[in-house]
């Protein structure tokens, strides 16, 4: 009896064959299944698409005689061209075992198809600033938010990492990275990771360089791949040239031990801010060397001038003493 059942199933499988026994599709997508059958015997039989782990528990979803265009599953009998099954708007709950069947009086002809729904693989994430890079807000100490995003993928999780010589340090699990004076270091490199159950992709490097560190009003610039390149060199020069002087007014009280009288005077002390500018060492040495050379030259000129004046005075005195006795003899 068992052998007879197996032979009947094998014979039925030859009468209905599909192009796929397992279908893997992405969430939100669709698939089309094509099955061939014996049109000489079953061309007028009803065809159906059902779901269930076994033949006996299979629940019919759609059939070829009652087409429901509102349903996500459609089965169409194209006779000699075969049976076409189309399922759209796939979701994770659509994963399971399905059957394509041909209705018969004593026993239906059925073949199983396993459907697996997965996430859409992520594409390489792209980085962009939410504010305009052309305005260079970082040169004026303002914060900048960099966003990480993918053009493809579902169920994506974003993470930001800071690169170090030894390993990458996880900073946060978010699509946005906010840069400001309190968080940026002298030279830093960051990258974003986009991942889901299917794949994992890394973005290009985001580099940050701090020119003048400070808790507020710092100066730094950001290098974003595919974004306009800028620097803050002019900002550094104007900061050094136009730093306003800070003045404080102090009142000094002078006490006299003998008269026990006090005298109040106002003293104004002016403090100048020195702003660090990135000047090469060779330029600094050349500038100071030129200044020292100029001072030495001026000293030599001054010494030579004084020596010459002394010599001239001495010669004039000698000439005067020589002429005085001669005039006396003449008289």
Alpha carbon distance 91, 89 (integer Å)? 7
Given this model, what pLDDT does residue 166 score? 86
Alpha carbon distance 154, 321 (integer Å)? 113
Q: Which residues pair with 14 in a beta bridge?
A: none
Residues 236 and 135 in one domain: yes
Q: Does 67 map to a domain?
A: yes
pTM for the whole structure: 0.60
What percent of the chain is modeled with pLDDT above 90?
44
Alpha carbon distance 210, 215 (integer Å)? 12
User: For 132-154, how does the pLDDT look when each residue is reduced to its tens digit (9 = 90+)?
Assistant: 888 888 898 899 999 999 999 99
DSSP 245-271: PEEEEEEEEEE-TTT--EEEEEEEEEE
Given this model, what pLDDT does residue 148 score? 95
Locus of tokens 């015997």: 41
**Cβ atoms 51, 61 nearer than 8 A:** yes
Given this model, what pLDDT does residue 185 score? 79
Name 212's Cβ contacts closer than 8 Å, sequence gap at least 6. 218, 219, 220, 236, 239, 275, 276
Name 204's Cβ contacts closer than 8 Å, sequence gap at least 6. 127, 191, 225, 226
Given this model, what pLDDT does residue 5 score? 46
Given this model, what pLDDT does residue 245 score? 43
User: For 192-242, how does the pLDDT look when each residue is reduced to its tens digit (9 = 90+)?
Assistant: 999 999 999 999 999 999 988 888 888 998 998 888 888 888 877 766 544
Given this model, what pLDDT does residue 238 score? 66
Residues 191 and 95 in one domain: no
Mean pLDDT within 267-289: 58
Q: Does 289 map to a domain?
A: no
Number of domains in the chain: 2
In terms of DSSP bridges, do strands 157-163 and 109-118 run parallel, antiparallel, or are they unpaired? unpaired
Q: Does 268 map to a domain?
A: no
Residue 270 pLDDT > 90: no
Domain end, chosen from 197, 217, 241, is at: 241
Q: Does 253 map to a domain?
A: no
Residues 88 and 133 in one domain: no
Confidence of residue 251 (pLDDT cuts 50, 70, 90): very low
Locus of tokens 């794949």: 199
Spatial CA neighbour of 231 closest among 278, 192, 190: 278
Mean pLDDT within 28-41: 93
What percent of the chain is modeled with pLDDT above 70?
79
Confidence of residue 253 (pLDDT cuts 50, 70, 90): very low
Domain end, chosen from 241, 267, 289, is at: 241
User: For 171-195, how does the pLDDT look when each residue is reduced to its tens digit (9 = 90+)?
Assistant: 999 999 999 888 887 888 999 999 9
Domain end, chosen from 241, 262, 290, is at: 241
Higher-pLDDT residue of 8, 17: 17
Q: What is the mean pLDDT of the chain?
A: 80
Distance set, CA 163 to CA 173, 175, 201 (Å): 15, 17, 16
The continuous run of DSSP H or E covering 241 comes out as helix 233-241
Mean pLDDT within 286-315: 86
Residue 125 pLDDT > 70: yes
Alpha carbon distance 136, 190 (integer Å)? 19
Name 143's Cβ contacts closer than 8 Å, sequence gap at least 6. 137, 178, 179, 180, 181
Confidence of residue 312 (pLDDT cuts 50, 70, 90): confident
Alpha carbon distance 67, 225 (integer Å)? 52
Range of the domain at 206: 126-241
**Cβ atoms 125, 150 nearer than 8 A:** yes
Residue 265 pLDDT > 60: no
Residue 13 pLDDT > 70: no
Spatial CA neighbour of 177 closest among 195, 158, 163: 158
């Amino acid at each position: 009896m068992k052998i007879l059942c197996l032979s009947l199933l094998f014979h039925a499988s030859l009468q209905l064959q599909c192009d796929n026994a397992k279908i893997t599709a992405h969430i939100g997508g669709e698939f089309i299944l094509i099955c061939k059958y014996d049109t000489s015997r079953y061309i007028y039989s009803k065809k159906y698409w059902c779901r269930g782990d076994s033949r006996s528990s299979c629940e019919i979803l759609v059939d070829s005689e009652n087409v429901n265009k509102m349903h996500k599953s459609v089965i169409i009998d194209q006779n000699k061209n075969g049976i076409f099954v189309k399922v759209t708007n796939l979701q994770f709950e659509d994963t399971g075992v399905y059957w394509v069947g041909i209705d018969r009086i004593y026993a239906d002809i059925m073949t199983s198809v396993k459907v697996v729904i997965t996430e859409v693989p992520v594409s390489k994430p792209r980085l962009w600033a939410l504010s305009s890079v052309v305005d260079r807000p970082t040169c004026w100490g303002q914060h900048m938010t960099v966003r990480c995003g993918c053009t493809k993928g579902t169920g994506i999780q974003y993470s930001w990492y800071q690169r170090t010589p030894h390993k990458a340090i996880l900073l946060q699990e978010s699509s946005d990275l906010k840069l400001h004076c309190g968080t940026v270091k002298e030279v830093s490199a960051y990258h974003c990771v986009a991942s889901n159950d299917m794949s994992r992709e890394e973005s290009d490097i985001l580099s940050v360089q701090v020119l003048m560190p400070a808790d507020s009003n710092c100066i730094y610039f950001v290098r974003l791949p595919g974004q306009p390149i800028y620097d803050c060199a002019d900002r550094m020069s104007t900061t050094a040239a136009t730093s306003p002087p800070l003045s404080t007014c102090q009142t000094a009280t002078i006490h006299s031990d003998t008269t026990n009288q006090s005298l109040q005077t106002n003293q104004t002390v002016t403090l100048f801010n020195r702003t660090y500018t990135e000047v090469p060492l060779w330029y600094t040495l050349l500038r100071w060397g030129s200044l020292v050379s100029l001072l030495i030259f001026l000293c030599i000129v001054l010494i030579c001038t004084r020596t010459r004046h002394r010599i001239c005075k001495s010669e004039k005195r000698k000439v005067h003493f020589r002429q005085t006795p001669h005039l006396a003899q003449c008289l």
